[in-house]
Amino acid sequence: MPAAGQKGFLGALFDFSFTSFVTPTIVKFVYILITIGLALGYLLFVVLGFAGDTPAVGIVVLLLGWIPFLVYLALARMTLEFYFALVRMSEDIHHRLPAR
């Protein structure tokens, strides 16, 4: 439930004056979507590796494919954390400035 003075997700999304930020409300959802997408991509590569002419490709992807999965997940997490921290700093600066 939003705090006093904060808008909900749709209110922040359609705030054309940009007085509220939508990033803090959707960052968890976006991270979950990225995680699911990467996991499905990994499974797809494993299946396609085994479906090819040489099953050794499937075994290699199964054994080593988790490494790029974790790298991309870490990069996505760091990117989302950067955006989230930037929005938090902006909110803090906005609250410290005197009202105009």
Where in the sequence is the domain holding 66, given as residue range(s)? Answer: 23-92
Q: In this structure, is residue 44 part of a structural domain?
A: yes
Q: In this structure, is residue 97 part of a structural domain?
A: no
Taking only the tens of pLDDT, the chain with its 100 residues reads 444 446 677 777 787 887 778 888 889 999 999 999 999 999 999 999 999 888 899 999 999 999 999 999 999 999 999 999 999 998 888 777 776 6
Q: In this structure, is residue 65 part of a structural domain?
A: yes
Q: How far apart are CA 72 and CA 70, in angstroms?
A: 6
Which amino acid is residue 54, in one-letter code? T
Domains contained in the chain, number: 1
Q: In this structure, is residue 78 part of a structural domain?
A: yes
Which amino acid is residue 85, in one-letter code? A
Residues 22 and 13 sit within 8 Å (Cβ to Cβ): yes
**pTM score of the predicted model:** 0.77
Q: How far apart are CA 2 and CA 24, in angstroms?
A: 11
Q: Which two tokens stand for residue 41?
A: 């991509």
